[in-house]
Amino acid sequence: MRKEIPLLITFLAGAFFIADYFIPHTGFSSWAETLNGWTIIVIAFAYVLGVANVARVNLDYIQRKGKDTPYKIILLVCLLFMMMVGIIWGIGEHTVFDWFFINIYSPMQAMMFALLAFYIASAAFRAFRIRSVQASLLAITAVLVMIGRVPIGEAIWKDFSNFSEWIMNVPQLAGKRAILIGAALGAISTGLKVLVGLERTHLGQD
Amino acid sequence: MRKFLEIINTLDRRWIFVFIGLAVSLPLFFPIGIKFSVSHPVQGFYDTIEKIPDGSKILMSCDFDPGSMPELYPMTITALEQMFRKDLKVIITCLWPAGPPLVERALAHVGAEYNKQKGIDYVHLGFKEGKEVVMVSMGASIPNTFPTDYHGTPVSEIPIMQGVTNYREVAMIVNISAGYPGTKEWVQQVQSRYQIGLVAGCTAVSAPEFYPYYQTGQLKGLMGGMKGAAEYEKLVGVMGLGTRGMDAQSVSHLMVFAFILIGNLAYFTLKFMKRKESG
Amino acid sequence: MQIRRLLLCWFTASLVLIATLAAIAQEQAPAESGTTIDTRWFDFNRVNILVALIVVFFLIIYFIEKAKRGRDLFVRRIAGLDAIEEAVGRATEMGKPILYVPGIDDMNNIQTVASMIILGNVARTVAQYDIPLIVPLRLPFVLPVAEEAVRQGYMSAGRPEAFNKDNVRYISDEQFAYAAGINGIMLREKPAANLFLGSFFAESLVLAETGFSTGAIQVAGTANIHQLPFFFVACDYTLIGEELFAASAYLSREPKLLGALKGSDWAKSIILAILGVGTILVSLHVEWFRNWFLVE
């Protein structure tokens, strides 16, 4: 029953929410609303479990004195610090929590995102070599869209941005739709397998 | 010549990083001021909000974090400017945990400029975990999903929330999103179910994914990336962060194009030389 | 037979549940005045979606049954998945580990579920060659599932003692901290092969470029379309969209998974046919066919 009960819950919950999409009855929808509320509460508790899991995994590593132990200690200290600071003094503007968020967390996150600009340039330099017909189509389209979607494109040719929009709205959209349809079908298929219990990897296999 | 071409062909990527760094930073100090026009999806975003009767209530979902601030924060500021100018009442939610402090900053900045009052002209309901579940739950009851605002005030005591039960009481939804959960989920879970007007601003890399929704009318307007933000700023008549970043973006794109060109020239010239040597 | 029995039992259970909830809902006190009450038990505007869902479900179940009866189902070669075997071989020759990144999303994302299935297959292959398999994770809830998948893989290869729990590592909840952690692993441990299979977002290029700089063979797969271009330019092989979902069937060759893949392929063929017919009819200004597929 260790596997059967979770599978049954999965199926019933999935079937219920599929049914909710087709049944507009107010009374039935109120059940869906109630279940949604329960889900939000459970997910909120997942944060508590997440913190406990983070602490457990890292404490376990520290106990075993792995080579990254100093980083794990820093992680736990920072976690505890931000939690305490947020709980004691709040998370509004001009609090200690807010200071760390704006002056440390935000710039660090923005910095990692900014790395993409450099990586895109080096990837483009390396990958856009016209070795074949497909590669040349890729390179030419990429260059046209790249130039057309910034103001310099319009400065070169006034209809550059319209041409770039056409590439985005017609050939790009067609290809994207095809991939979207395929991916959606794949997701439906995998979802069905999970719902009926054909796929049980997430529960641990027998 | 051959040695030079071989160096170019196998150029250490750190040289590329240096040139890109210069291409991005120099135009920020020495602006060029390249002009640009407004695209249809961004015009759609602006027009949809303009058509809403003054004084109506709008739901705005700011689903982003500091990583995508350069592209999405200007959109948020400018959208708030347009909505406050029309005296629209804005109800703001966040589905990303790091979103609320950024929203607070935007509201403090724009709200003060237009003398808007918290609780009367706008309310920030804060973050709620649950992703699509929260979206669907708001369709049943927004007060039940967000019983208090970001500062802990019960929603029943907030004037702007009086009479607001679910999506039927808001004129439209404005979504600014950086990924998941975001625009796609708003279209799938909310727009398709409740047939409510929806406009979206997203990162440049995500924008192509939402063109199908714009084409079918599920999205009434779409802004993609910093260019979208700059176009929107032009329509609203503000000189914001989006516009200021356009020169840097133009020069850096040209730089990438130059690298692609140089790389291919070096590649083909070397190939031609080798073929000539081998007879 | 087993599937039919399962389906029958659970379908009955869900009907009973829905009917019970409906009966209770019917007796509930009327809603507050001013609220619109809907007493319909079925929204006929969505019957087209229901029909489509039933057709897709039927096709998948039919082909699963067919596959279980021993019929050989053809699946075309997917270069990216064949490359996984090549990657494992290369790692064995070089004596270096394999890095498997299952994406950054939680278990509620179907791509992560698909990635865990592939992970089990990869672990089984890797166990046979006795090379380390490093699996860095972003979310704590994925950790036990990944551990179990890898453990099962090693067990089914008959090498349970080779499973090293320390190689399935939780890194960080934060997207770019996770990416930075993986970059660190790639630069320090220099895996021979990097497998990026799952749901990825902005960190995809950061990971792929760093992996490229270490000289590893890289196979990526995601259904997040906006990240596919980055994987294309930086990886040796890329699985596009549903190829990720097909991977579990392709690698394991299990009849039920092959059948499900075949079923969804047939569903796609039907959609293609509808697109073709619809395009022709709309071009001739015949609207009734198109209107069948409108969702209100």
| Residue A29: inside a domain | yes
Touching subunits of A (3+ CB pairs, under 8 Å) are B, C
Query: Is pLDDT above 80 for B197?
Result: yes
Let me know whether B25 and B140 are in one domain: no
Residue A112 lies inside a defined structural domain of this protein: no
d(CA B108, CA B92): 13
Residue C29 has pLDDT above 60, yes or no: no
pLDDT score, position C36: 66
pLDDT at C32 over 50: no
Of A35, A27, A31, the residue nearest C38 (C-alpha): A27
pLDDT tens-digit readout, C250-291: 887 888 788 888 888 898 899 889 999 999 999 999 988 888
- Spatial contact of B104 and B80, defined as CB atoms under 8 Å apart: no
Q: Read off the pTM.
A: 0.81
The answer to the question of residue A19 being in a domain is yes
Give me the number of domains chain A comprises.
1
Tokens of C265: 């392929």
Position B279 scores a pLDDT of 67
Question: Do B170 and B226 lie in a common domain?
Answer: yes
Instruction: Please give the order of strands across the beta sheet that includes C193-199.
Output: C168-170, C133-137, C98-103, C193-199, C217-222, C237-240
- Looking at residue C7, its pLDDT comes to 64
Render B231-253 in DSSP notation, one character per residue: HHHHHHT---HHHHTHHHHHHHH
CA-nearest of B218, B33, C295 to A155 is B33
pLDDT value of position B200 = 97
Name which of A186-200, B54-68, C52-66 the model is least confident about.
A186-200
Q: What is the DSSP string of chain C?
A: -HHHHHHHHHHHHHHHHHHHHHHHHHHSPPPPTTS-----SS-GGGHHHHHHHHHHHHHHHHHHHHHHTT--------HHHHHHHHHHHHHHHHT--EEEEEESS-TTSHHHHHHHHHHHHHHHHHHHHT--EEEEES-TTHHHHHHHHHHHHHHHTT-GGG--GGGEEE--SSHHHHHHHHHHHHHHH--SEEEEEEE--THHHHHHHHHHHTT-EEEEEES-GGGHHHHHHH-SEEEETHHHHHHHHHHH--HHHHHHHHHHHHHHHHHHHHHHHHHHHHHTT--HHHHTT---
Rounded Cα distance between C67 and C57, Å, is 15
DSSP A101: I
The predicted pLDDT at position A1 comes to 67
> In this model, does residue A37 exceed pLDDT 70?
yes
B119, pLDDT greater than 60: yes
Q: The domain containing residue A45 runs over which residues?
A: 1-89
Does B35 fall in a domain? no
Q: How far is A45 from chain B (nearest CA, A)?
A: 10
What number of C-beta contacts closer than 8 Å exist between A and C?
216
Distance of CA B260 to the CA centre of its chain: 28
B95 and B197 assigned to the same domain: yes
On the question of pLDDT at C34 being above 60, the answer is: no
State the residue for tokens 């179990």. C148
Q: Does some domain include residue A64? A: yes
Q: Considering CB atoms only, which of C17, C145, C202 is closest to A202?
A: C145
Going by pLDDT thresholds of 50, 70 and 90, the confidence category of residue A27 is confident
Which candidate, B194, B195, B199, places its Cα nearest to that of B228? B199
User: Which one of C7, C9, C10 would you mutate to disrupt binding with A, by most A Cβ within 10 Å of its Cβ?
Assistant: C10
Average pLDDT value over all residues in chain C: 85
Domain spans of chain C, in order of start: 43-72+254-296, 79-252
Among the partner-chain residues B180, B192, B208, the one whose CB lies closest to the CB of C295 is B192
Structure-token pair, residue B235: 């329509």
> Which of helix, strand or coil describes residue B176?
strand
Place C129 in a pLDDT band, splitting at 50, 70 and 90: confident
Beta bridge partners of C200: none
Residue of C nearest to A76 (CA): C172
Of A47, A129, A161, the CB nearest to B39: A161
Of the candidate ranges B13-17, C73-77, C238-242, the one whose mean pLDDT is the lowest: C73-77
Q: How distant is the alpha carbon of residue A66 from its chain centre?
A: 30
Q: How many angstroms separate the CA of residue C45 from the nearest CA in chain B?
A: 11
Strand pairing class (C237-240; B172-177): unpaired
Query: Average pLDDT in the C31-38 region?
Result: 58
Mean pLDDT of B216-229: 94
Residue type, B91: I
Residue B116 backbone class (left: φ over 0; alpha: ψ -120 to 50; beta: rest):
beta
**B106 neighbors B80 (Cβ within 8 angstroms):** yes
pLDDT averaged over every residue in chain B: 92
The structure tokens listed for A13 are: 């919950």
Average pLDDT of the residues in A21-31: 84
Let me know: does A121 contact B255? Beta carbons within 8 Å.
Answer: yes
Query: B103 and B233 share a domain?
Result: yes
Phi, psi of C254 (to 5 degrees): -70, 135
Per-residue model confidence (pLDDT) at position B112: 92
Averaged over A126-153, what is the pLDDT? 88
User: Which residue from A minimizes the CA distance to B192?
Assistant: A21
pLDDT of residue B67: 87
Q: Calculate mean pLDDT across residues A179-198.
A: 81
Burial group, residue C20, by CB count within 10 angstroms (0-12, 13-18, 19+)? exposed
User: Are the Cβ atoms of B252 and A176 closer than 8 angstroms?
Assistant: no
Cβ neighbours of A124 in B, within 8 Å: 256, 259-260
Confidence band for C182, pLDDT divided at 50, 70 and 90? very high
CB contact under 8 A, B179 and C201: yes
Q: Is C238 exposed, middle or buried (0-12, 13-18, 19+ CB in 10 A)?
A: buried
Which one is predicted more confidently, C38 or B21? B21
Give residue-wise pLDDT tens across range B150-175: 999 999 999 999 999 999 999 999 99
Of C88-97, C133-142, C191-200, which one has max mean pLDDT? C191-200
pLDDT tens-place string over residues C229-258: 899 889 999 998 888 888 878 887 888 788
Please check the confidence at residue B219 and state whether its pLDDT lies above 90: yes
Contact flag A110-B256 (C-beta cutoff 8 Å): no
Q: What pLDDT sits at residue C19?
A: 63
Residues spanned by the domain of B254:
2-30+248-277
Count of domains forming chain B:
2
pLDDT digits (tens, 9 = 90+) for C77-99: 888 888 888 888 889 889 999 99
Whether B126 and B190 share a structural domain: yes
Do both B131 and B13 map to the same domain?
no
Residue C177 pLDDT class (50, 70, 90 cuts): confident
Q: Which chains touch B (3 or more CB pairs under 8 A)?
A: A, C
CB pairs under 8 A between A and B: 162
**CA trace torsion B97, B98, B103, B104 (10° rounding):** 100
The answer to whether residue B123 is domain-embedded is: yes
Does the distance separating the beta carbons of A146 and B34 come in below 8 Å?
A: no
What's the average model confidence in pLDDT over A2-18? 83
* Cα separation, C193 vs C235, whole angstroms: 11
Fold for C79-252, please state it.
Rossmann fold (3.40.50)
The sign of the dihedral angle between the CA atoms of A52, A57, A63, A69 is: negative
Q: What is the pLDDT, as a whole number, of residue C8?
A: 63
Residue A194 counted as domain residue = no
Name the DSSP class of B154: B
| Residue in A38, C108, C25 with CA at minimum distance from that of residue B137 | A38
Distance from CA of B154 to the nearest CA of A (A): 17
Q: Which residue has the tokens 């440390």?
A: A104
Chains contacting chain C through 3 or more C-beta pairs under 8 A: A, B
Give percent above pLDDT 70 in chain B. Answer: 100
Q: Tell me the per-residue pLDDT of C143-175, one tens digit each, with 9 for 90 and over.
A: 889 999 999 999 999 999 989 888 998 888 888
